[in-house]
C-alpha cells in the first residue's frame, strides 16, 4: 500500500507549500483517479507519491510517504523505482533517445537495474505483451504516433516491475485515437495487479475505470470516494473539473425535468 500521511510539500525556491496536510492511500490493486483544476496540485501529488519529490527535485516535504509502512525517504531513487514509477504527459520526453527499437527502449529500465540478460528479456517481452504492442517491437521509438509513444513509455515503466504506477495526465496531449489506445492500456495495466494512481483532466477516461476518485483543490483533497459517486457530484464544476459527458447530459436533462438517459433506454 502506498500512503501519503499529512503530506505538506513546498517546491524548492517557492515561498509557500503547494500541498497541505494531504492524506491519500493507494491500496494494492486499486485504481484511483485524481481530478482537479490545473495548479490544484495533481502533478505535485504525483511527484510526491512517486518519491521524486523531494528525492530528485528537492523541496521540503513534511508528513510521510509510506510504502507498506516504510518511509520512502530512506531509499534512493532507483531503489524506489522498483516499487513505484511515474509516467508523464509527453511521450517525447519519456523517450530515452538512445534506443533504436521499441524493444531496446522498454528493456532500458531492467538493463539499468543490472538484471541478467534472461531476466531483462523476459520482463521486456511480458511488458510488450501486456500492453499488446509486440507488433511495435522493431519500430523506431521516435517514429510512432503519440498514443503509441505513450504505450511504449508505459511498457518501459511496467518492465521495472513496480507495485504502484502513477500517471500524470497520460492522455492530455493525445488525439482521440491515442486516448482510446491509452485508456484500453490502462485496463491492461490494472489487470496486472499493479495499483494505479491516474491524474486526469478528461474525466471520461476515468469514468468506468477507477475504483475511487479523489478531487484536489488548492492543494487539499476535498472529496475522496467511490468513482461513480464522486464523478456525479454536482460540486465538481466549482472545483474546476468537467464531469464526464454522461453526467453533464444527465444534469442538463434533470434540470429541464426531462426523463434520464436510462429511462429513455440509452444503454449504460
Partner 1 sequence: MAGGYLVPIALIAIVLACAAIAGIVRRLVRVSLLLTLPIAISVILVSALTRPGETVLLVLGPFDITLEGVDFAGQTLVRLFAISTAIGLFTLSTDPRAFVFDLERRGLSPRFAFAVAATIEAVPALASRAGVIAAAQRSRGLDTEGSPLTRIRGVLPLVGPVLLSSLAEVEERSLALEVRAFGRPGRRQLLWWPPDRPRERVARWLLVAALAGLVAARVLGAWPAIP
Partner 2 sequence: MAGMNGGADGAAAAAIEVAADSARAAAGANGPAAAAIEVAGLVHVYPDGTRALDGVDLRVVAGESVAIVGQNGSGKTTLARHLNGLLRPTEGVVRIQGRDVAGARVARLAAVVGLAFQDPDQQIFAGRVRAEVTFGPRNLGMRGPDLDDAVADALAAVDLASAVDAIPYDLGYPRRKLLAIASVLAMRTPIVILDEPTTGQDLRGATSVREIVRRLTAEGRTVLAISHDLRFVAETFGRVVVMREGQIVLDGGPAEVFDAAAWPALASTYLEPPLAARVGAYLGLGSTPTEGALVEALGAASRP
**DSSP for residue 39:** T
| 170 in contact with partner 2 (CB under 8 A) | no
Nearest to 61 by CA among 25, 21, 34: 21
Residue closer to partner 2 by CB (options 12, 129) is 12
Asked if 240 is part of the footprint of partner 2 (rule: CB under 8 A), the reply reads yes
Beta carbons within 10 angstroms of residue 125's beta carbon: 16
Q: 104: Cβ–Cβ under 8 A, 6 or more apart, which residues?
A: none
Cβ(215)–Cβ(203) under 8 Å? no
Collapsing DSSP states into helix, strand and coil, what is residue 210? Answer: coil
Near partner 1 by CB under 8 A: residue from 35, 108, 189, 199: 108
Helix or strand or coil: residue 235?
coil
CB of 84 to partner 1, least distance (A): 9
Residues within window 159-218 making contact with partner 1, judged by CB under 8 A? 160
Q: Which of 44, 72, 89, 124 binds partner 2 (CB under 8 A)?
A: 89
C-alpha cell at 247: 453526467
Cβ at position 93, least distance to partner 1 in Å? 5
Residue 145 binding partner 2, by CB under 8 A: yes
- For partner 1, the closer of residues 10 and 95 by Cβ is 95
Q: Where are the alpha helices (DSSP H) in 69-142?
A: 77-80, 102-112, 117-130
Of 115, 201, 220, 224, the one binding partner 2 by CB under 8 A: 201
Give the C-alpha separation, 45 to 200, whole Å. 12
Three-state SS for 5? strand
261 lines the binding site for partner 2 (CB under 8 A): yes
Find the part of the chain contacting partner 1 (CB under 8 A) among 22-30, 99-107, 169-177, 194-202.
99-107
Strand 84-87: give its sheet, edge to edge: 84-87, 164-168, 195-199, 31-35, 212-217, 220-226
The one-character DSSP state at 70 is E
List 109, 178, 243, 244, residue binding partner 1 (CB under 8 A)? 109
The one segment of 94-102, 199-207, 226-234, 239-247 that binds partner 1 by CB under 8 A: 94-102
Spatial separation of the C-alpha atoms in residues 40 and 216, rounded to whole Å: 6
23, 90, 134, 224: which one binds partner 1 (CB under 8 A)? 90
3-state secondary structure of 35: strand
Q: What is the rounded CA–CA span in Å between residue 245 and residue 198?
A: 19
- Residue 44 within binding range of partner 1, rule CB under 8 A: no
Among the listed residues 6, 38, 100, 112, the single contact to partner 2 using CB under 8 A: 38
Binding site for partner 1 (CB under 8 A): 47, 50, 52, 56-57, 76-78, 81-82, 85-86, 88, 90, 93-94, 96-98, 100, 104, 107-109, 111-117, 120-121, 153, 156-157, 160
Interacting residues with partner 2 (CB under 8 A): 37-39, 89, 145-146, 172-173, 175-178, 201, 237, 240-242, 245-246, 248-249, 252-253, 256, 258-259, 261, 264-266
Amino acid at each position: 500500500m502506498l500512503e501519503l500521511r499529512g503530506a505538506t510539500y513546498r517546491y524548492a525556491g517557492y515561498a509557500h507549500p503547494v500541498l497541505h496536510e494531504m492524506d491519500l492511500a493507494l491500496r494494492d490493486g486499486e485504481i484511483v483517479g485524481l481530478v482537479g483544476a490545473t495548479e490544484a496540485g495533481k502533478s505535485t501529488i504525483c511527484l510526491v507519491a512517486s518519491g521524486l519529490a523531494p528525492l530528485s527535485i528537492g523541496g521540503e516535504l513534511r508528513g510521510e510517504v509510506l510504502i507498506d509502512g516504510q518511509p520512502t525517504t530512506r531509499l534512493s531513487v532507483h531503489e524506489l523505482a522498483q516499487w513505484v514509477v511515474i509516467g508523464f504527459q509527453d511521450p517525447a520526453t519519456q523517450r530515452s533517445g538512445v534506443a533504436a527499437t521499441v524493444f531496446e527502449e522498454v528493456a532500458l529500465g531492467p538493463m539499468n537495474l543490472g538484471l541478467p540478460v534472461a531476466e531483462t528479456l523476459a520482463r521486456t517481452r511480458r511488458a510488450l505483451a501486456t500492453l499488446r504492442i509486440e507488433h511495435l517491437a522493431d519500430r523506431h521509438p521516435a517514429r510512432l504516433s503519440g498514443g503509441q509513444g505513450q504505450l511504449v513509455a508505459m511498457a518501459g515503466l511496467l518492465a521495472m516491475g513496480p507495485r504502484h504506477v502513477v500517471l500524470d495526465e497520460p492522455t492530455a496531449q493525445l488525439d482521440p485515437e491515442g486516448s482510446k489506445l491509452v485508456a484500453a492500456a490502462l485496463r491492461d495495466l490494472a489487470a496486472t495487479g499493479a495499483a494505479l494512481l491516474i491524474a486526469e483532466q478528461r474525466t471520461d477516461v476515468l469514468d468506468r475505470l477507477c475504483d475511487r476518485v479523489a478531487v484536489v483543490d488548492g492543494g487539499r483533497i476535498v472529496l475522496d470516494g467511490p468513482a461513480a459517486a464522486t464523478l456525479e457530484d454536482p460540486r465538481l464544476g466549482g472545483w474546476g473539473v468537467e464531469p464526464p459527458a454522461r453526467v453533464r447530459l444527465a444534469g442538463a436533462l434533470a434540470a429541464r425535468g426531462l426523463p434520464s438517459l436510462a429511462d429513455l433506454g440509452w444503454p449504460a
